[in-house]
Amino acid sequence: QVQLVESGGGLVQPGGSLRLTCAASGSIGSLNAMGWYRQAPGKQRELVATVTSGGSPNYSDSVKGRFTMSRDNAKNTVYLQMNSLKPEDTAVYYCKLTMLLSGREYWGHGTQVTVSS
């Protein structure tokens, strides 16, 4: 019954910013990890950033220094602040929740981010 809902995507010009939100609901285990992934048409889904319930965020090299992931454990919500956006950031961004004890994974349906002039 776990559900993830992403929001905040849209159209932005190069150099602009967007803030994505992923809200998780249901029975969330205390030991878990949440992450952001993205997938462009014809390309493989790739990791953007991830964080455990008690750790610090880790970022892929392609976004490090431009994106910031934060987490509100009490609300089971994560955010992705995206700055200095580039056209190559265009993709559908997905949120994932992993229950570390069981290994179960849950995915949201994604939110479209388009960076274009």
DSSP strand pairing (91-99 vs 67-72): unpaired
Tokens 């910031």 locate to 68
Which pLDDT does position 36 carry in this prediction? 98
Which pLDDT does position 75 carry in this prediction? 86
Mean pLDDT for the stretch of residues 70-92: 94
| Reduced 3-state DSSP string for the chain | CCEEEEECCEEECCCCCEEEEEEEECCCCCCEEEEEEEECCCCCCEEEEEEECCCCCEECCCCECCEEEEEECCCCEEEEEECCCCHHHCEEEEEEEEECCCCCEEECCCEEEEECC
Task: Summarize pLDDT for 13-63 with one digit per residue, the tens.
Answer: 999 999 999 999 999 888 999 999 999 999 999 999 999 888 899 999 999
Q: Which residues contact 42 (CB under 8 A, 6 or more apart)?
A: none
% of residues, the chain, pLDDT over 90: 89
Letter for the amino acid at 101? L
Euclidean distance between the first and final Cα of the chain, in Å? 40
